Structure 1
Amino acid sequence: MLTDYHLVMLPADGEGTVSFENLAGTGGYVVKSFNPGVAASLERFPNYWKSDRAHFDAVEYTAIQDVNARQTALITNSLDAMIECDFKTVQMLERDPNLKVDEVPTGTYVSMPMHQDVAPFDNPDVRLALKYAVDREATVKMVLNGHGSIGNDQPVSPIMPYYDASIEQRSYDPDKAKFHLKKAGLENLKVELSAADVVITSGVDMALLFSETARAAGIEVNVVRESNDSYWSNIWLKKPFCLAGWGQRPTPDIIFTLGYAAGADWNDSHFKDDRFNQLLLEARGELDKAKRAEMYGEMQRILHDKGSVIIPFFRNWIYARRANVQHGGVLTSSWPLDGARGAERWWFEA
């Protein structure tokens, strides 16, 4: 758990909560300025307790939402490193001798949560029909340009502990989708899917591809292109069917607790299953690793079979740096730029 980038220490306000106005922390840099969503300026803290970390004299973070603008800034030496390259054009960066591209398999995924308590998603056969209507291989090829692995409608990826490889991989099958629609008492189905490229580059294209593949199963998916600026505040957690993005967590318990436990604030599909919640609590106290693996395997199967989230793929992190920016070669998979710790772990070539 200590590896998760969310886990940071911040000063207290004397009343038992965090003082967000006080920017002093425990890291290798001192915050000189911070403009949320725009930029941050840091200077090295000379008395940092990790003598082999925080090698840069200063660090400047700049928020550049447009991926093409980010890549141009890196190519022209306006940036030393950047997050999230464009999957479709990253080969151009790889051919540039002045740049280095890093690619790391992850447990980060883009999903399509369906509100389980809202019709028609309250019917488990409707949810299964929509799952079978996704062409996962085509989605990985088109959206990720092959830079990822196929998902199986549960959030534990093959690189994570307790991944259950015995669960049958769900594949694109319009006939099975029609079968489940018929079980739900439907001949066809019409739904709206909210999407935006802020979730992932080509997010809207991903939704449009799903609309095309679902048509063969008698499912009409009307893609609603939402605003990037307000997506996370106005669409996610509010619309009953939308794209969502989840970063990798270090343990199954954390991702299950955050995104799938009944009543959790970020349970974006309103999923609720008594057996799942029972196993979630029991697994935390189980010290036998084999027994805990069985519990987590059953939870993965519950989500695969009965869950209300479609997970077509796990994406790779692909980010880039100038050739003079060096690192130790082993990169964490939790977040871009070495788990968001590139400023601490990396250095300039002498």
Structure 2
Amino acid sequence: MNRWLRYALTRRRFLQLLGSGAAVLAVSACGQQAPSSGEETTTEPAPAAGEPQRGGVARVAFASAIANLDPAHMFSAEELSLANIVYERLTTVFEPETIQPALATAWKAAADGLSWTFTLRDGVTFHNGAAFGAEDVVYSFERVLDPDMGSMARSFLGFVSGVTALDDLTVRFDLEQPNSDFPILLASPSTSIVPRDSSDEELAEQPIGTGAFQFAAYTPGERMQLVRNETYWQAQLPYLDEVQFLFISETSTRLQALASNTVDIIWNLGLEQVSTVKANPDLQLQEVKEAVYPYIILNQNYPPMDDNRVREALKLCVDREGMVQAATQGYGTIANDQPVPPWYALRADIPPREQDIARAKELLAEAGYADGLTLAMATSALRPTMQETAIAFQEMARQAGITIELERLPNDTYWGEYLNYPLATSNLPYDPLSLDAALALSYHSAGAWNEPGYKNPELDELIEQVSMEADVTKRTEMYAQIQQIISDEGAWLIATYNPTFTASRTTLHDIKMGRVPLLHLSETWMEPAA
């Protein structure tokens, strides 16, 4: 079994920490999971007329407040967006196979693959004026690898056995097992570098990084102020004077604030609001296609969800094109009950199920439910399309004699209660760079985020072996087997792949959104007021 699985946070704990923020699996890994050639990742705003200009305040509306200022404890997309702006990592990865230097300028593996040596960038300072160096890297990684810290980073870096400063600008990482993608893993926001003399208490109150913006003030639950780092090592950046985070929980209120020029950016727009933004000439959209997948958990702890005939019957109830229209306003695409989206190069060619009510009834009869079946299902409006997916599925399942009793749980308690039902809606973004990690976390029987409690020894063995297989052809075959098993027998009903949208004022330019939809604002600039 992959060693790092032992350190994974439980998904329930992870989601409880998120509140109403979007869950983000913030790990990076294998560059082989690149999009297919020619596949666009984002839809950018209209090109700017003129060169970038300095100045301006960008106001960002988030649905959920930021609870954690220490990167070791950051989990929600809002918090990880803060990490992107205030902190930096040794490397940066915006899109698959685009690893770039950040606080490290070069890296090299030992011949046996059991250590990596990184050369660090000279002339970088923290926001408190301290010089950045190797001891800061050692301290930062010792913090997140400490089991008592409970950091997300430990879940995917558990194979790191030691970190050593060789000199002021050179660091060596010792590994218990080779990992050719190790430099990409270090691009995760949860591996952000903090000063060597910063305490847990200090970082909990005030982020201290090397990023383009530095922390200025925070009124919890209301507003956070970040100002330009005047000593940033990329001298021309940032362009903005200031970034403000405003926390507005109500979806319609956020859109009204954007339209009235009270805020400049809305992150994770509701799909039902896209047409309204498109109709407003003062607003623009950025779309990350097939960025998340909502799904229905078929909880193995509640019979008859442990019977694959019943699971198959539920999957056959779904009109997938109808689900795209009903749940995603037509913006989603059809999924085939496994998590690898069309833009992955290693996606297997598994046709999606067609709706087959007659066959669903036959399977239910074989399982002992010829007279029908009643199931309770938890859902919430916490994430875009979760509730819409549940409502559409309720109507589709009715045709096969299955009665779905929907339980609409409060947003603020959903992640603490949703696994107490035979069926529940959930939602995850794709990690475009870590197929191995995503499979191990969510689909291995020991995976911390295996919500349905699904166990399959054959699947476990494949997931364990694929991360250690060096032959590309064999890896591709193993990935195909994994996807087929999940689609055929898995306890996840995945009917659609969904986009995410960010809306902003047209006066803002160069807002970057990657496959994992976090904000990147270091190169963003604003047109001066007329």
Whether TM exceeds 0.5 here: the answer is: yes
Q: One-letter code of the match for 1:148?
A: G
1:149-171 deviations in whole A, cap 9, x for unaligned? 1111111111123111x212112
- In 2 relative to 1, CA 38–156 (structure 1 residues): closer, same or farther, beyond 3 Å? farther
- In 2 relative to 1, CA 51–248 (structure 1 residues): closer, same or farther, beyond 3 Å? farther
SS in 1 for 2:427: strand
Q: Following superposition of structure 1 onto structure 2, how do residues 54-133 of structure 1 map, counting pairs within 5 Å?
A: 54-133=238-317
**C-alpha distance in 2, partners of 1:110/1:34?**
33
**C-alpha distance in 2, partners of 1:301/1:17?**
45
Residue 221 of structure 1 deviates from its aligned partner by 0.6
**C-alpha distance in 1, partners of 2:497/2:236?**
33
Match of 2:398 among 209, 212, 215: 215
Residue 179 of structure 1 deviates from its aligned partner by 2.1
**C-alpha distance in 1, partners of 2:470/2:367?**
41
Tell whether the 8 Å contact from 1:155 to 1:255 is kept in structure 2 after alignment: no
Q: Following superposition of structure 1 onto structure 2, how do residues 235-246 of structure 1 map, counting pairs within 5 Å?
A: 235-246=417-428
Residue 331 of structure 1 deviates from its aligned partner by 4.2
SS in 2 for 1:243: strand
Tell whether the 8 Å contact from 1:87 to 1:145 is kept in structure 2 after alignment: yes
* Higher deviation after alignment, 1-10 or 75-84: 1-10
1:96-152 deviations in whole A, cap 9, x for unaligned? 221111222124111111222321111111111111112221121122111111111
SS in 1 for 2:483: helix
**C-alpha distance in 1, partners of 2:316/2:199?**
49
Q: Does 1:138 align with 2:332?
A: no
**Max Rg structure:** 2
Task: Name the structure 1 match of 2:519.
Answer: 340
Residue 191 of structure 1 deviates from its aligned partner by 0.4
SS in 2 for 1:300: helix
Structure 1 stretches (4+) deviating beyond 6 angstroms? 12-18
SS in 2 for 1:106: strand
SS in 1 for 2:412: coil
Q: Does 1:273 align with 2:456?
A: yes
**C-alpha distance in 1, partners of 2:421/2:436?**
26
Task: Name the structure 2 match of 1:252.
Answer: 435
Question: TM-score under structure 1 normalisation?
Answer: 0.89
**C-alpha distance in 2, partners of 1:36/1:269?**
35
Residue 85 of structure 1 deviates from its aligned partner by 2.5
SS in 2 for 1:161: coil
**C-alpha distance in 2, partners of 1:39/1:16?**
24
Q: One-letter code of the match for 2:213?
A: Y
Q: Does 1:150 align with 2:334?
A: yes
Residue 253 of structure 1 deviates from its aligned partner by 1.1
Tell whether the 8 Å contact from 2:290 to 2:333 is kept in structure 1 after alignment: no
Tell whether the 8 Å contact from 1:68 to 1:86 is kept in structure 2 after alignment: no
Tell whether the 8 Å contact from 2:193 to 2:209 is kept in structure 1 after alignment: yes
Tell whether the 8 Å contact from 1:196 to 1:204 is kept in structure 2 after alignment: yes
Residue 217 of structure 1 deviates from its aligned partner by 0.7
**C-alpha distance in 2, partners of 1:177/1:49?**
61
Match of 1:282 among 462, 465, 484: 465
Tell whether the 8 Å contact from 1:235 to 1:242 is kept in structure 2 after alignment: no
Q: One-letter code of the match for 1:247?
A: P
Tell whether the 8 Å contact from 1:249 to 1:334 is kept in structure 2 after alignment: yes
**C-alpha distance in 2, partners of 1:258/1:315?**
21
Q: One-letter code of the match for 2:379?
A: A
Q: One-letter code of the match for 1:271?
A: Y
Please, what is the CA RMSD of the aligned residues? Answer: 2.4
**C-alpha distance in 1, partners of 2:198/2:216?**
26
- In 2 relative to 1, CA 43–224 (structure 1 residues): closer, same or farther, beyond 3 Å? same
- In 2 relative to 1, CA 72–262 (structure 1 residues): closer, same or farther, beyond 3 Å? same
Residue 53 of structure 1 deviates from its aligned partner by 4.5
**C-alpha distance in 1, partners of 2:216/2:468?**
43
SS in 2 for 1:105: strand
Residue 36 of structure 1 deviates from its aligned partner by 5.4
Task: Name the structure 2 match of 1:324.
Answer: 507
**C-alpha distance in 2, partners of 1:25/1:41?**
15
Match of 2:413 among 224, 227, 230: 230
Q: One-letter code of the match for 1:241?
A: L
Task: Name the structure 2 match of 1:291.
Answer: 474
Residue 176 of structure 1 deviates from its aligned partner by 2.0
**C-alpha distance in 2, partners of 1:212/1:62?**
38
Residue 65 of structure 1 deviates from its aligned partner by 2.4
Task: Name the structure 2 match of 1:195.
Answer: 379
Tell whether the 8 Å contact from 2:225 to 2:244 is kept in structure 1 after alignment: yes
Q: One-letter code of the match for 1:316?
A: P
1:173-202 deviations in whole A, cap 9, x for unaligned? 21121122122122111101111111225x
Q: One-letter code of the match for 2:466?
A: A
Question: TM-score under structure 2 normalisation?
Answer: 0.60
Q: One-letter code of the match for 1:299?
A: I
**C-alpha distance in 1, partners of 2:221/2:483?**
36
Q: Which runs of 5+ in 1 are unaligned?
A: none
SS in 1 for 2:406: strand
**C-alpha distance in 2, partners of 1:123/1:197?**
29
* Higher deviation after alignment, 295-304 or 181-190: 181-190
SS in 1 for 2:276: helix
- In 2 relative to 1, CA 349–106 (structure 1 residues): closer, same or farther, beyond 3 Å? farther
**C-alpha distance in 2, partners of 1:17/1:309?**
39
1:202-245 deviations in whole A, cap 9, x for unaligned? x333212211110111111111111011112x224444421101
Tell whether the 8 Å contact from 1:53 to 1:345 is kept in structure 2 after alignment: yes
